[in-house]
Amino acid sequence: MLAILLLAGAARAEEPAPIPAFEPCMNAEIARFERDLRRARSGLYAGLAPFVDGRGVEVCGVGGIVRCDRSAAPLPCQHALAETQEQLRGAVLESLPAPEGPGLYRAVHALAKGRSAGDDCAGMTPVLAAWCAAREATRRAELAVLAYQIARENGAVEPAFRLGWAEAPAPVRPRARGRP
């Protein structure tokens, strides 16, 4: 009996952490970006990898797709996820200033506002079309967030929570001196 309880406890301990929903994941991603931006401005990121990238959107989007795949209704869930991502993209783009002069921000801003030449998901089965629509929405949201990050790094916009499209980050707990 004790062996069964130990095995059950070990199996439960190995269960992966639940995948966060898209919105909480994005709020955490934007909070991470703001922390990294503060560190970069204070000089703590000297010589480290660039922190301005939209890859966190990819992680959140794929996590949302996996959550949908595991849900009782994957197709409606993926359609709703794509719509949520498009709403985020719209809110982010609405909060950005128009680009001035040439440069990376102008290029990314234009890409984030654009669409592809046609329906990237045309001719697919309903299951693949739902997956494809969610993936394409992730890509579009990723470009919008990247444009925001570039504008934010350049001081052209306020933090996302002040712009209204992300929640305010939780306060960082103070640490004792000499502790990491």
CA Rg value for the chain: 20
Residue the block writes with tokens 């929570």: 161
- The amino acid that residue 88 corresponds to is L
- The amino acid that residue 81 corresponds to is L
Residue 74 in tokens? 């994957």
- The amino acid that residue 70 corresponds to is R
pLDDT of res. 55: 85
What is the spatial distance between Cα 49 and Cα 57, in angstroms, rounded to a whole number?
A: 18
User: pLDDT tens per residue, the chain (180 residues)?
Assistant: 555 555 555 555 567 788 999 999 999 999 999 988 888 888 776 766 677 888 899 999 999 999 999 999 999 999 999 999 999 999 999 999 999 988 889 999 998 998 665 677 888 999 999 999 999 999 999 999 999 999 999 999 999 999 999 998 887 777 777 655
pLDDT of res. 47: 65
- The amino acid that residue 40 corresponds to is A
- The amino acid that residue 74 corresponds to is P
What is the spatial distance between Cα 125 and Cα 131, in angstroms, rounded to a whole number?
A: 10
pLDDT of res. 4: 58
What is the spatial distance between Cα 41 and Cα 37, in angstroms, rounded to a whole number?
A: 6
Quick one: 29 exposed, middle or buried, by C-beta within 10 A (0-12, 13-18, 19+)? buried
